[in-house]
Amino acid sequence: MANWREELVETVKSKEEREAEEAARQRKRLEAALEVADAAMTQAREALGFAHEQLESKKQPSAFADEAGALRLSLNELSIAVDLSRDDAVLKVTYNEGRPRDFDFAKDRHLAPKDVEEYVGRRAVELARAAQKNSPW
């Protein structure tokens, strides 16, 4: 518990000082969230790379693009895209140009890179099943 001196110091702070402290806290939270988001992006890259290798081993026309902050796995007309926004530590996974699933690492501190890997891996399984259903190999 704070003593009266610490309370007085806190009470007499100006609005600018309070805002500067809050901005510093936000930057620190974003930096921590970006570390986890980068680890999640690495896990997503590994998951999509594995899916690409498996599809190529079956002579399927799979394409894997790995650009800065964006990943994409395509098979025929189907695709999975993973994008990382470094401004707000949000990782978006889009399956077949549908509505993206957002993983907001700045707001949800309980998210783990393994959660992203599992989600991306499940979408890769769905992609392979849909592609095989459309044109069996």
What are the structural domain ranges in the chain? 4-134
Would you tell me which CATH number, out of the four given (3.30.920, 3.40.50, 2.60.40, 1.10.150), belongs to the domain 4-134?
3.30.920
Q: Are 82 and 44 in contact (CB under 8 A)?
A: yes
**What pLDDT is recorded for position 1?**
66
Q: How many CB atoms lie within 10 A of CB 122?
A: 12
Mutual orientation of helices 15-57 and 113-134 as an angle, nearest 10°?
40
**What pLDDT is recorded for position 45?**
97
**What pLDDT is recorded for position 121?**
97
**What pLDDT is recorded for position 137?**
81
pLDDT in tens, the chain (137 residues): 679 998 888 888 888 988 999 999 989 999 999 999 999 999 999 999 999 999 999 999 999 999 987 999 999 899 999 999 999 999 999 999 899 999 999 999 899 999 999 999 999 999 999 999 988 88
Please tell me the distance from the alpha carbon of residue 77 to that of residue 137, in angstroms, as a whole number.
Answer: 16
